[in-house]
Amino acid sequence: MAAKLGVKTQTIYNWESNTTKPKLDPWQTWILCETLGVTLKQLAEAFKGEGGDD
């Protein structure tokens, strides 16, 4: 996943452990949706309500 998104493996680990939140550009977001087999709406809904206004 890290290679597909052009980020470090540590970055993926930080997302998974909720240490940091993803800050993806539109292209990376598209790749993530394609890889996970979800729509942008589904991805956005998964993050909805996960805390704060950041």
7-19 tens-digit pLDDT = 999 999 999 999 9
The string of pLDDT tens digits covering residues 23-48 is: 999 999 999 999 999 999 998 898 78
Q: What are phi and psi of 12, to 5 degrees?
A: -60, -45
DSSP state of 41: H
pLDDT of 50: 63
What gap in Å lies between CA 1 and CA 4, rounded to an integer? Answer: 5
Q: Are 33 and 1 in contact (CB under 8 A)?
A: no
Residue extents of the structural domains in the chain: 24-49
Half-sphere exposure of 51 (CA within 13 A, CB side): 3
